[in-house]
Structure 1
Amino acid sequence: MRTDPSVFTEPARPEALQLRFVTVGGSYVDVTSPGHDSGKHRWTCHGCKDTSHFPEQDYLHSIRSKANEHAGLCRAIPLT
């Protein structure tokens, strides 16, 4: 059973936002970086508060699949 993300308020979009995924629990996973071509992308989950562990090593093509995988598994709901 999937949670309907429309029942939750989308968090503010940070200026450095590159991608945003909706989680199974209805929260969001943001991929941010100082720039599209930067090698310092990171993902952060608004639901469970987990984050990428080595952002200085993750380029967009690599971090995209990791953030999407997390979003497909995370069932934490947004608390704010």
Structure 2
Amino acid sequence: MPTDTSAFTEPDRPANLQIRFLTVGGSYVDVTGPGYSSSKHRWNCHGCKERSDFPEQDHLRRIRSGANDHAGLCRAIPLS
């Protein structure tokens, strides 16, 4: 019988999900928005509930690094 490697369930994927990162705490950081050429993206951590500050100014290529940096540091575990 296969063993599940994660104690946490991946949250539903929103329709506008562009990228999902796994945090060191086992949660997820979602980058959402309308697509590559738009400047209206945001990232949201499912563990600690932190979010990007200026989604109206963030192109996907720019916000990706912030979301990835947060995922590499966040140790919060998902509570639901």
Fold agreement, TM-score > 0.5: yes
What is the distance in 1 between the residues matched to 2:37 and 2:17?
13
1:73 aligns with 2:73: yes
- Cα pair 2:39 2:56 within 8 Å, conserved: yes
Please give the secondary structure, in 2, of the residue aligned with 1:6: coil
State how 1:23-62 maps to structure 2 within 5 Å. 23-62=23-62
Structure 2 unaligned spans of 5+: none
- Aligned residue pairs total 76
Partner SS for 2:6? helix
Is it true that 1:64 corresponds to 2:64 in the alignment?
yes
Whole-Å Cα distance in 2 between the matches of residues 15 and 63 of structure 1?
18
Task: Give the Cα–Cα distance (whole angstroms) in 2 for the partners of residues 15 and 68 of structure 1.
Answer: 20
Q: Matched residue of 1:7: which SS?
A: coil
| Kept after mapping to 1: 8 A contact 2:22/2:28 | yes
Give the C-alpha shift of residue 6 in structure 1. Answer: 1.5
Determine the structure 1 residue equivalent to 2:7.
7
Identity of counterpart residues, as a percentage?
72
Q: Offset of 1:36 from its aligned partner? A: 2.8
Q: Which runs of 4+ in 1 moved over 2 A?
A: none
RMSD, matched Cα: 1.0
